[in-house]
Structure 1
Amino acid sequence: MDSPTHVIDPDGEVIIVLQNANSSFAETTEEDVVANGSPHTVTKYDEETSSPTEEPVDAQEDVAADEPDPTEKTSAEEPIEQPDETGPLPKSPDKKCFRIQVSAKHLTLASPVFKKLLTSHFKEGITYLQTGSVEVIAESWDLEALLILLRAIHGQQYQIPQKLSLDVVANIALLVDYYECAEAVYIWTTLWIAALEKELSKAYSRDSISWLFICKVFRLSARFRETTSIVMSCSSSGWISNFGLPIPDQVIAAMNKCREEAIAKLIDKLHQTLTDLLNDSRGCSYECRSIMYGALTKQMQSNDLLSPRPVTPFPGVSYKQLVQKVSGFRSPQWVVGERSRYYHSCLGSSFARLFGELSDSIEGLHLENFVPPIPITLSEGK
């Protein structure tokens, strides 16, 4: 048996063999996700076999014989490898595996997934019960995130950073979600999230979706509501993507529905206002209705809102930017009579009065409508 590359517990009975470490994370294009689903969706062990149907755990019998010898030190006090300042740990071109020695007792106490794997009829459990040691194959996890989680599970608090990047925290959330071990990093997650909060993206992006996933895993209700509001309000892609993260389909569908409904409602308001002016149900006089109708028609046409009329799923249309455009419509000004010194004013003589108050943000979703509660909920400091 090859020596471990990382030792969390020198007396540990379990070797986690991490293959294809540091695979791409949350980088799937939206087109791929829409067409093909989530390629990084993970599936837990089932009752019949210890080999899952999908990544990240692949229960092979042995590590391939042609794997290169590990080069890392085997000290139990070895510090966590830090990524290069220019980016995350690189993906090894030869798919070199890492061997991490850990305690079976700690794993089974912290994670019901590990407990099921090591104490039931899975082949890993049978091997462990018969020989007192076992190898567990894991696939594609981020090495740094996995080491941090395992050190937290083993109570090695001095070796856990107090501040992490968004990517690392999201990778830890991916592990916590899969192994169902939020309590193991409860205190640390509070610190990591507090440090990251100032960096919260205010646009629809890979980072905002990563943050949304973190909120979902650690049950951050207020931040989840805020982040879904940002994503729905700022997305102009036509379809909000999960970027390959295991965010519930119901959440993605609800965000897309709310975004489309908000955009459609505002566009309907514009077209209905045109109809009302044309049918004499808005405005105070022929001149008022004619001038406002012409001005609104011109503004809508110049902003691609008239013909052709935008249709769902509104690709290229951001609700936030749409509201800002409409709020910036220039209202005409005119005087009635040759000798009048005052501009005409009535309830229908300005776009602000015709449209009413417009908010450029969509109300966020409530987390409790999509995921069951967990025994612990992180404090959000609010």
Structure 2
Amino acid sequence: MVSSRQLILASGYFREQFDGPWKLKHQTNSRHVFQLPLKCTNSEAFMILIKILHGHSMNVPRKVTLRTLTDIALLVDTYKCLEAAESFADTWICALNSRLPKTYSEIAHMWTYIAYVFEKTHIFQMMTKLAVKSSKRRITSHLPIPPTVFLKVEKQREALILRVLEFTNRTVSRLEHVATSNNCVSAAIILGTLSVLLADLRLLGHKASQSFHYASFATISKALNQLNIEKTPSIRHRTKAISSCLEALERGIKGLQLCDVYEK
């Protein structure tokens, strides 16, 4: 049994339910009990939120698992009660903050959604930067993250891959010119090694106008930085140029701010 008064005060969703068309359709029975459909599969997360909405803060845990926090975020998003849960979310997020992922995975999806619901701009930007860097195609999620997030992440990812393509194409053309016009053995070695690697990554001959979904920037960067080239001075220079370009591109990854989600 829960208090409709407390739910109305804390939740925009329940306020609409009790005062809107639902109330007209569902009349109270003799004991004045409403039965509301609840959109929740995690009973632990739901009970935690109910305790928060009823002001039973002493019974609210100070630590939760990432999965439970994600489910609480889903409830907060659904029931429009950010203000009531925000301070508790700060505590939970702080306790889990050291476990933020370094690669994009289901865990990163969860953190993206948590940051979106609880308006944690720094974490949101970190996770979307990770998505730009580590994804190899447009991302989808079972969580109700706004589609505009994935559209804008994909736009940044495509722009990043295009920069890589432009750089590698220039490098190949330059090496071809040096190798043929100057009969430079070291340039030919670099060209051969680089061409094989680019072919493996499906970058060789790829047109900038075509979508690219064969490898992420992180995968491409790691492969190019591990070029196994004989260490002659001219080759060291070329290797350094590749590494410097990739580092600059990675530093330039912006990710998204929360305000970007609402921009048209």
CA deviation string 1:308-330 (max 9, x = no partner): 64862323x12112112212224
Relative distance call for 1:169 and 1:349 in structure 2 (3 A) is closer
Whole-angstrom CA distance in 1 between matches of 2:84 and 2:231: 65
Equivalence for 1:149 = 49
Equivalence for 2:159 = 261
Larger radius of gyration: 1
* Cα distance, 1:201 vs structure 2: 1.4
Relative distance call for 1:169 and 1:355 in structure 2 (3 A) is closer
CA contact (8 A) 1:240 1:256 kept: yes
Whole-angstrom CA distance in 2 between matches of 1:210 and 1:349: 42
* Cα distance, 1:164 vs structure 2: 0.3
* Cα distance, 1:279 vs structure 2: 4.3
Q: For 1:196-211, list aligned pairs within 5 A.
A: 196-211=96-111
Q: Which amino acid aligns with 1:367?
A: L
* Cα distance, 1:130 vs structure 2: 8.9
* Cα distance, 1:140 vs structure 2: 4.1
- TM normalised by structure 2 equals 0.85
Q: For 1:181-260, list aligned pairs within 5 A.
A: 181-236=81-136, 238-242=137-141, 244-260=142-158
Q: Which amino acid aligns with 2:56?
A: Q
- TM normalised by structure 1 equals 0.60
Equivalence for 1:286 = 182
Equivalence for 1:135 = 35
Equivalence for 1:60 = none
* Cα distance, 1:151 vs structure 2: 0.4
1:363 matched to 2:248? no
Q: Which amino acid aligns with 2:145?
A: I
CA contact (8 A) 1:331 1:350 kept: no
Q: Which runs of 5+ in 1 are unaligned?
A: 1-100, 335-342, 373-382
Q: Which amino acid aligns with 2:14?
A: F
Relative distance call for 1:102 and 1:255 in structure 2 (3 A) is same
Number of equivalent positions: 255
CA deviation string 1:345-365 (max 9, x = no partner): 59x952323664422463221
1:312 matched to 2:211? yes
Whole-angstrom CA distance in 2 between matches of 1:105 and 1:250: 36
Q: Which runs of 5+ in 2 are unaligned?
A: none
CA deviation string 1:125-181 (max 9, x = no partner): 752499732111224431111110010000111211100000100100001111110
Match of 1:173 among 50, 69, 73: 73
Equivalence for 2:19 = 119
Any idea what SS the aligned residue of 1:135 has? coil
Task: Judging by fraction of residues, say which structure has more strand.
Answer: 1
RMSD: 2.8
Q: Which amino acid aligns with 1:208?
A: A
Q: Percent identity?
A: 26
Task: Judging by fraction of residues, say which structure has more helix.
Answer: 2
Any idea what SS the aligned residue of 1:358 has? helix
Equivalence for 2:238 = 350
CA contact (8 A) 1:233 1:318 kept: yes
* Cα distance, 1:121 vs structure 2: 2.7
Equivalence for 2:219 = 321
Relative distance call for 1:205 and 1:353 in structure 2 (3 A) is closer
Equivalence for 1:302 = 197
* Cα distance, 1:228 vs structure 2: 0.9
Equivalence for 2:173 = 275
Whole-angstrom CA distance in 2 between matches of 1:371 and 1:173: 19
